C-alpha cells in the first residue's frame, strides 16, 4: 500500500511540473516524424479530422482528450495496441512526436 501511495505521489509531482519541463521535444521535428511514420493511419495535421484508417484517431482529437499529457502520450506510445503496429521510437523521437501532438491542443 505504501509503495502504491508513493507511486501515485510521484505521478502527481511529475504532472505538476511546469509544461516546458515535461515536453522537452521539438514539435516541428515531431510533425516531420508523424508525416513519415504515422500519417498512413492517422490524420496528423491540425484541422484534419478524418484519418486514412477510420479506427485511428486524428492527432488533434488525441490532443483534446482531457488529461492527455506528454506523460500519458509517452505511456500510450510505449504500450502495444491491437490495432496499431508496434512502432519503436528513439527517446528523442518520442519526445518530439508527443510535443507535436500536445501542441495541437485548443488553448484558451
Q: Which residue from 73, 72, 75 is spatially nearest to 42, judged by alpha carbons?
A: 73
Question: Are 92 and 20 in contact, with CB atoms under 8 Å apart?
Answer: no
| pLDDT tens string 31-74 | 999 999 999 999 999 999 999 999 999 999 999 999 999 999 99
Per-residue confidence at 108, pLDDT binned at 50, 70, 90?
A: low
pLDDT > 80? residue 79: yes
pLDDT > 70? residue 16: no
More confident residue, 50 or 7: 50
Please work out, in degrees rounded to the nearest 5, the angle formed at the alpha carbon of residue 6 by the alpha carbons of 4 and 9: 110
pTM comes to 0.75
State the distance between the two ends of the chain, measured CA to CA, in whole angstroms: 39
The pLDDT, as a whole number, for residue 103 is 95
For the chain, list the domains and their CATH numbers.
Answer: 27-103 (1.10.760)
Amino acid at each position: 500500500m505504501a509503495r502504491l501511495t508513493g507511486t501515485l505521489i510521484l505521478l502527481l509531482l511529475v504532472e505538476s511540473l511546469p509544461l516546458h519541463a515535461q515536453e522537452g521535444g521539438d514539435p516541428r521535428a515531431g510533425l516531420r516524424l508523424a508525416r513519415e511514420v504515422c500519417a498512413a493511419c492517422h490524420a496528423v495535421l491540425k484541422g484534419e479530422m478524418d484519418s486514412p484508417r477510420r479506427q485511428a484517431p486524428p492527432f488533434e482529437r488525441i490532443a483534446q482528450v482531457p488529461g492527455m499529457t506528454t506523460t500519458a502520450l509517452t505511456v500510450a506510445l510505449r504500450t502495444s495496441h491491437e490495432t496499431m503496429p508496434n512502432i519503436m521510437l528513439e527517446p528523442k523521437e518520442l519526445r518530439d512526436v508527443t510535443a507535436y501532438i500536445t501542441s495541437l491542443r485548443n488553448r484558451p
